[in-house]
Amino acid sequence: MLAVSAPGEWSTAARRAEELGYDVLLIPDHLGLPAPFPALVAAGAATGLRLGTFVLNAAFYSPVLLAREVATTDVLTAGRLELGVGTGYVAEEFAAAGIPFGTARDRVDTLERVIDAVYGALGDPAHAPQPVQRPVPLVVGCNGDRMLTLAARRANVAAFTGGAADPANPANLRLLSGPAFAERIAFFEKVAGDRAGEVERNLLVQDVAVTDDREAALAAWASRLPYLSAEEIPTVPALLVGTVDEIADQVRGLRERFGITYVTVLQPALEAFAPVIAALRRD
C-alpha cells in the first residue's frame, strides 16, 4: 500500500504504484493538500487499485454530507473505496478551519458520532446514492486505549500508527519500540476478543531505507529518536531498514509477531519498497 501526499500527482503516482505491484493507494486529509475524494476518483479512473482515505479528520465533516461523498466515491470507483477515519491531531488545521480543537476525549467523541451517523446513513435502504460495497470497509487509525478499543469493536481494519503523540508537541509522533508496540497489539487483542482475528491490522511505516549497512543506517536515526536507546532503535516496527531481503524478513516478522498483514509506506518510499513487494510475492 502507498500513501500519496504530494498534490497534482494523483494519476501519475497511482499508475506508477500499480506498475510496481502495490495493491492500495491512500490519500491523507490535511489542509494544503487537495480534497481526498476527488483525488481518489481521479486515481481510480487511472488504475484498478483499491483506494482509501488515510485518514479523514472526522471533525472536518458533516456526517450526512460525508455519507454522500463516501457512497458517490464508492460508486465512481466501482466498489474500491476504504473509508479511513481518525480524530485529527494538528491544532493549527482546526484553527484554520474554524473548528474547536478540544481535548483528545472531545475528538474521539466526535469520531464515534461521525462513524455512527455515516454508517447509519449508508445502511439505510432509503439513502441515495447507495454505495457498491455493503458495507464500505472502515479503517480506524489508532494507538491509544480508547482508539484501539473503537477499532477493535467497529473497524474492518485497525491502522496502527506505530507511534504515540509527543507530549511536548502532539503533532509529532514518537515511534514505539518493538516491546512497546507489542503491548499495544496485546491491548487490542484483549479488547477485540472474538473479533481479534476478523479485524485486519495495518501498520504505518515511517521510513524505508534500502542499504547494505543496516547498522549505520539505524545509527543515523539516533538523534531523531532521543527517547529510545541504541538497543531499542533496531526493534522499531515503523522503520524498515536493510537490504531488500532483510526488509522482506522484517515485514514477514510483522505478520508473524504482530499479525500485521497490511503495510502502508509513504510516497517517498514508492520506488525503494517495490523490490520488497516483489520479494514478498515470491513467498
Taking only the tens place, the pLDDT of each residue in 16-41 is: 999 999 999 999 999 988 899 999 99
* Structural fold of domain 2-205+244-281: TIM Barrel (3.20.20)
Peptide bond into 55 cis (omega under 30): yes
CA dist 276 and 40 (Å) reads 25
Q: Are strands 138-142 and 239-242 parallel, antiparallel or unpaired?
A: unpaired
Neighbouring-strand partners of residue 81: 51
Beta bridge partners of 141: 159
* Separation CA 67–CA 88 (nearest Å): 19
Mean pLDDT of 257-278: 97
Query: What is the average pLDDT value for the chain, to the nearest integer?
Result: 95
Single out the residue of 66, 261, 53 nearest to residue 137, CA to CA: 53
Look at residue 8 in the predicted model and tell me its pLDDT: 59
Q: How far apart are CA 214 and CA 7, in angstroms?
A: 32
The answer, as to whether pTM is greater than 0.85, is yes
At residue 165, the pLDDT reads 87
Looking at residue 172, what is its pLDDT?
84
For residue 10, what pLDDT is reported? 76
Q: In this structure, is the dihedral angle defined by the CA atoms of residues 144, 149, 154 and 160, taken in order, positive or negative?
A: positive
As a whole number of Å, the CA-based R_g of the chain is 19
Please check the confidence at residue 61 and state whether its pLDDT lies above 70: yes
The residues spanned by each domain of the chain are: 2-205+244-281
What is the rounded distance in angstroms from the CA atom of residue 27 to the CA atom of residue 248? 25
Cell of 155: 473497524
Share of the chain above pLDDT 90, in %: 91
- Average pLDDT in the 220-246 region? 96
pLDDT (0 to 100) of residue 34? 85
